[in-house]
A and B are shown apart, each in its own frame.
Chain A
C-alpha cells in the first residue's frame, strides 16, 4: 500500500514537473525585439520608424564587452555612449558580451562588477525601468561549468535581485546539446551557423543545412527560448573580390518555419540582429512582417 502511494506521488510530481517545464516557456511574453550592437546609442529616423512600424517592445542593447586584459583579468571594453534615448514604450535590456577566454578560470567578483557597472550606467544616463540583463558568451564544453557558476553568481547577487528580475543568456546552436544554463530564458542565436572558410559551399551566416542537425534538440531543451534571426550583412575581401554575405529572405523564413514546427513557442519572442539603417533597407517590409509573425 505504502509503495503504491509513493508511486502515485512520484507520478504526480513527474506530471507536475513536466507541466511546469512547458508552462515555464510562457515566461517570455509575445513580442518583437532587436539587438543594438553599435558603440553609440543614436538612432536615425529610419531606425526610429522601424521600431514603431514593427511594434518593437524590447531592445537588447550591448552596453559593453568584457575581454581579458594583458594582466590576465577581465575588463570592460567598447562601452556604449548614450547620445539618444529610446521611446518610453520600449524596454531596454542591457546586454554584455563576454569573451569565452574570460571563463577559462574563475574571476572572483566578476559577476558583481558587471551588475554594478550596468546599474551605474543606468543611473548615470537616466535609463529607467530596466528589469533584465542578458549575457552573451560563446561558451564551450571547456568553459561551460565556469560560465554557469558565473551566471548563478549574477542571479544570486543582492545587487541583481534588488534591481533586476530576469537574467537571460544567448544560446548558440551548438550549445543546445549541452546542459541548459541557469537563467530565466535563452536567446537562441540562429546565425553564424556556418564555417566562414567554406563560404562558397554554404552561407556562413545562415544555411538551413547547418541548422538541421540541431533541430532535434529544440523540443526537449528545458529553457524558454526567444529566437534571434540575422538581418545583417557581412562583407569580406576574399581573393581580391568583395564578398557580401547576406541571407536571402526565403532562407530566413524557411529556417524560422523549421524551428517553429519543431518548437511552437519559438514564435513567441522574436529578435532580429541587428538594428541598423542598412539592415532595415536590406529586406522588404513584407519580409520583416513575416520574420516577426507570431
Chain B
C-alpha cells in the first residue's frame, strides 16, 4: 500500500466553484519578487525525507514517497513500539482522508457505513493521539490530533491546543504543519487577519487566495498596509495586484490569450495610477522592510499603463535600493524588459541583448530546480520584445525564435517564404561573426532533413516541381515514417491522387479503427507525385488534340487532389483543417485545376467534354477564389431576419452546370452525373428558370 501524507487543509478550504474552469494562458508574469515555493510541496518534501532517513534508505533519489509498510517494517526491526502504533494510527487517519477523496475523485463513492466508520475512526485516532502528546514522538502525535480535529470540524479545540500546547514544541516540519492547521482554524472561526499573516509567513498561496479573494483591490491593499505596513501578506497582495494589472494590459495588447487566467481581476488605468502613487508613498514613508519591491512595482505598473519614460527612471532607482537577491534579480529583469522594448536597432543593442541573454541563461542554470521564473522571463522577453524588434529581418527573426523559448509567439518556420527559408538554412550552417550570432547559433539545434522537407514542400505549393524534387530527394522515406502521425501515414497511403474527386470522394471508413494500426511508407509518395506531375506538365507542349485535352483533364485531377480541399491534402500539409485557406506564397491549385478543365472542355470528345464540364461544377475548386459565388448560396438578410437563397448566374459553377445541361439535356445518361445531388438541385432550378 502506497500513500502520500497529505495536508487536507487545502481540500477543506477550497472555494465553492462551478464545474468548469478556464485554461491558463502563457503570458508570464514579470513581477515576481519572491521565490514561490508553495508550503504544501515544501513540507511534503521534508516529511518524506524524514521517513527516508528513518527507514535507512540511502538511495540518491531526490524524491522519496512515503510507504507505510516500509516504515512499519523498519520500526518493528528497531523495536520502536511507539512508531509502530503511530504509523498504524496514521494509516487509519489516511484511510479517513481517502474517504473524502473517494467522494470527489474515485469510482468507489463511500457508503453510509463507510462514512459512519470514518467518523468513528477519526474519533478513535484523535483519542489515541491526544494520549501521546507527551511522548517521544509528541510532535507527530500532536499533528495527528490536530488533523483529526480539523476533519471533525473541531476548530476551537485546535486553536486552544496550538496556543496552550503545540506552539511550545521545538521547531520541526510537524510544528509547521500544525501551525498551518491552526491558521486554518483561525480562518474558519472568523479571525482572518491573524490567519492571513500566518499563511503568508508559511508561503501557503492557495490559502491566501481563498482568504483574500475578495480583498485584492488597491483600496483593500492600502487599508491592509495602514493596519500593518510590514504585514507578511503584503508582498503576496502586491504581486497579485501587479500581475492582474499585467493581465489587463496584455488583454488590451492581445498578449494575454483570449480568456484570461482563472483568478483575474480587472485593473483599470485609474486603479493602477492610484497604486503607483501609493507605492511611492510607501517607499518615502520608510515603514516597509522591502522598498525595492514597492519601487519596482511602481515602475512596472507605469510601463504597463504606457508611462515608459517614468518607468525607466523608477526601475533604475529601484535597482539601487536594498532587497533580497531575488528582488534584485527581478529588478534587473524589469530593467531589461523596460529598456529593451524601447531601444533602437543596431550593433550596440545586439551586443547588449547578447550579454543579457547570457545572464538570463546563467540564472536559468543557477535556478534549474527553482520556480521557472527566468525561463518564463526569457519566453516573454522573446515574444514581446525581441520578435517585434527583429520582425523586418526574417533570418534574424527565425534564429531568435528558434534559439530562444518562443513558445506562444505563433512563429512557425512554415510562415517564411521559401527563399527566406533557404537563406535561413544557409545561416544555420555557416560560422557566426557577431556576439549575438554566436549566442544564437550556440542555441540553435536545427534538423537539416526537416528543413529540406519543408523547403521541398514549399516548392510543391508553388508548383515548382523541379526544385521540389531537388530538395525532397534528400529526404529519406524513413523520415516520414518516424516523424509523421499515424493518421497522416494512413491517409497518405490510402488516398490516391489519380481519382477524380468530383466523381468519387475517398472517404475513410472510421469503423475499422485504422488509427490503432501502424502504417509505413514503402515509397516516397511526395517525390513520386512531383515526378509524375512534372513529367505530365513537361510533355504538354508536345501534345495536341484529344491527347492534350486528356492530359489537361488528368492534370486537373491531380491539382484538385493536391489542393488543401482535396482528398490528398497530405501532399502539401501535415494535417487537414477545414479552416485552412491558400496562404500567401502559394499557388491556388483549385484555380489551376479550373484552368486545365477549361482547356479540356473544348474537346470534341463528348465524353471528355462532359466529364470536364461536370468537374467544373465541383464546388471545392472555388473555395479559395475571392469574390466567386457558388451557383446557389444562402445569405442572412438583416431586413427579412431570415436566410434568403440567391442564384449567381454568372458564377463559374452555374455556367459549367448550364453548359452541362445544354449538353446532356434534362436526363443525363452518365451515372456519375445522375448521382450528383447538387447537379440534381441545379436541374430542378434550371428547368424552371432557363
Interface residues of A (CB under 8 A from B): 37-40, 62, 65, 75-79, 81, 97, 113, 116-117, 120-121, 123-124, 141-142, 145, 196-197, 208-209, 212, 236-240, 242
A121 contacts B109, CB within 8 Å? yes
Q: Please, which residues of chain A bring their CB within 8 A of the CB of B258?
A: 196-197, 236, 238
B643 interfacial by beta-carbon distance below 8 Å: yes
A209 contacts B643, CB within 8 Å? yes
B17 interfacial by beta-carbon distance below 8 Å: yes
Of the candidates A121, A141, A197, A236, the one whose C-beta lies within 8 Å of that of B260 is A236
B235 interfacial by beta-carbon distance below 8 Å: no
Q: A39-B19, A78-B104, A240-B251 are in contact. List 20 more A-B contacts (CB 8 A).
A: A37-B19, A38-B18, A39-B16, A76-B105, A76-B106, A76-B107, A78-B19, A116-B107, A117-B107, A117-B108, A120-B111, A124-B110, A124-B112, A208-B641, A209-B643, A212-B643, A236-B260, A237-B251, A237-B266, A240-B266
Tell me the smallest distance from the CB of B369 to a CB of chain A, in Å: 22
A and B contact pairs by CB, cutoff 8 A, 14 listed: A38-B19, A78-B19, A79-B104, A79-B109, A113-B107, A117-B109, A120-B111, A121-B109, A196-B258, A197-B258, A208-B641, A237-B248, A240-B252, A242-B266
For residues 393 through 421 of chain B, which have their beta carbon under 8 Å from a beta carbon of chain A? none
B107 contacts A37, CB within 8 Å? no
Tell me the smallest distance from the CB of B359 to a CB of chain A, in Å: 33
B104 contacts A76, CB within 8 Å? yes
Q: Please, which residues of chain B bring their CB within 8 A of the CB of A97?
A: 19
Tell me the smallest distance from the CB of B109 to a CB of chain A, in Å: 4
Q: Please, which residues of chain A bring their CB within 8 A of the CB of B19?
A: 37-39, 62, 65, 78, 97
In Å, the complex CA distance between A124 and B117 comes to: 13
Tell me the smallest distance from the CB of B592 to a CB of chain A, in Å: 31
Tell me the smallest distance from the CB of A170 to a CB of chain B, in Å: 14
Most buried by A among B17, B19, B106, B109: B109
Tell me the smallest distance from the CB of A83 to a CB of chain B, in Å: 10
B81 interfacial by beta-carbon distance below 8 Å: no
Return the chain B residue nearest A196 by Cβ: B258
A142 contacts B104, CB within 8 Å? no
Most buried by B among A79, A237, A238, A239: A237
With A39-B19, A141-B510, A237-B264: A79-B107 Cβ-Cβ less than 8 Å: no
B17 contacts A124, CB within 8 Å? no
B16 contacts A40, CB within 8 Å? yes
In Å, the complex CA distance between A118 and B106 comes to: 12
Chain B residues touching A, range: 20 to 34
B531 interfacial by beta-carbon distance below 8 Å: no
Q: Please, which residues of chain A bring their CB within 8 A of the CB of B18?
A: 37-39
B511 interfacial by beta-carbon distance below 8 Å: yes
In Å, the complex CA distance between A38 and B19 comes to: 6
Tell me the smallest distance from the CB of B514 to a CB of chain A, in Å: 12
B251 contacts A77, CB within 8 Å? no
Of the candidates B115, B266, B511, the one whose C-beta lies within 8 Å of that of A145 is B511
B105 contacts A240, CB within 8 Å? no
Return the chain A residue nearest B636 by Cβ: A209
Tell me the smallest distance from the CB of A235 to a CB of chain B, in Å: 10
In Å, the complex CA distance between A238 and B641 comes to: 28
Q: Please, which residues of chain A bring their CB within 8 A of the CB of B109?
A: 79, 117, 120-121, 124
Q: Please, which residues of chain A bring their CB within 8 A of the CB of B104?
A: 76-79
B23 interfacial by beta-carbon distance below 8 Å: no
B510 contacts A39, CB within 8 Å? no
Interface residues of B (CB under 8 A from A): 16-19, 103-112, 115, 248-249, 251-252, 254, 258-260, 264, 266, 510-511, 636, 641, 643
In Å, the complex CA distance between A75 and B106 comes to: 7
In Å, the complex CA distance between A65 and B105 comes to: 10
Tell me the smallest distance from the CB of B116 to a CB of chain A, in Å: 11
In Å, the complex CA distance between A208 and B642 comes to: 9
In Å, the complex CA distance between A79 and B106 comes to: 10
Return the chain A residue nearest B114 by Cβ: A124
Return the chain A residue nearest B15 by Cβ: A39
A142 contacts B510, CB within 8 Å? yes
A123 contacts B112, CB within 8 Å? yes
In Å, the complex CA distance between A141 and B110 comes to: 36
Return the chain B residue nearest A77 by Cβ: B105
Return the chain B residue nearest A242 by Cβ: B266
Q: Please, which residues of chain B bring their CB within 8 A of the CB of A79?
A: 103-105, 109
With A39-B17, A236-B260, A237-B266: A75-B107 Cβ-Cβ less than 8 Å: yes
Tell me the smallest distance from the CB of A100 to a CB of chain B, in Å: 14
Q: Please, which residues of chain A bring their CB within 8 A of the CB of B108?
A: 117, 120
In Å, the complex CA distance between A79 and B104 comes to: 5
In Å, the complex CA distance between A239 and B641 comes to: 30
Q: Please, which residues of chain B bring their CB within 8 A of the CB of A75?
A: 105-107
In Å, the complex CA distance between A179 and B592 comes to: 37
In Å, the complex CA distance between A116 and B109 comes to: 9
Q: Please, which residues of chain B bring their CB within 8 A of the CB of A76?
A: 104-107
Q: Please, which residues of chain B bring their CB within 8 A of the CB of A116?
A: 107
Q: Please, which residues of chain A bring their CB within 8 A of the CB of B106?
A: 75-76
Return the chain B residue nearest A208 by Cβ: B641
In Å, the complex CA distance between A240 and B643 comes to: 34
7 tightest A-B CB contacts, nearest first: A240-B252, A120-B109, A78-B19, A113-B107, A240-B251, A79-B104, A237-B260
In Å, the complex CA distance between A242 and B258 comes to: 12
With A39-B16, A75-B106, A124-B110: A239-B252 Cβ-Cβ less than 8 Å: yes
Tell me the smallest distance from the CB of A80 to a CB of chain B, in Å: 9
In Å, the complex CA distance between A142 and B249 comes to: 39
Q: Please, which residues of chain B bring their CB within 8 A of the CB of A40?
A: 16
Q: Please, which residues of chain A bring their CB within 8 A of the CB of B254?
A: 239
Q: Please, which residues of chain A bring their CB within 8 A of the CB of B16?
A: 38-40
Q: Please, which residues of chain B bring their CB within 8 A of the CB of A240?
A: 248-249, 251-252, 266
In Å, the complex CA distance between A155 and B230 comes to: 63
Q: Please, which residues of chain A bring their CB within 8 A of the CB of B510?
A: 141-142, 145
In Å, the complex CA distance between A238 and B17 comes to: 22
Q: Please, which residues of chain B bring their CB within 8 A of the CB of A212?
A: 643
B107 contacts A124, CB within 8 Å? no
In Å, the complex CA distance between A245 and B595 comes to: 47
Tell me the smallest distance from the CB of B250 to a CB of chain A, in Å: 9
Q: Please, which residues of chain B bring their CB within 8 A of the CB of A142?
A: 510
Of the candidates A39, A145, A238, the one whose C-beta lies within 8 Å of that of B251 is A238
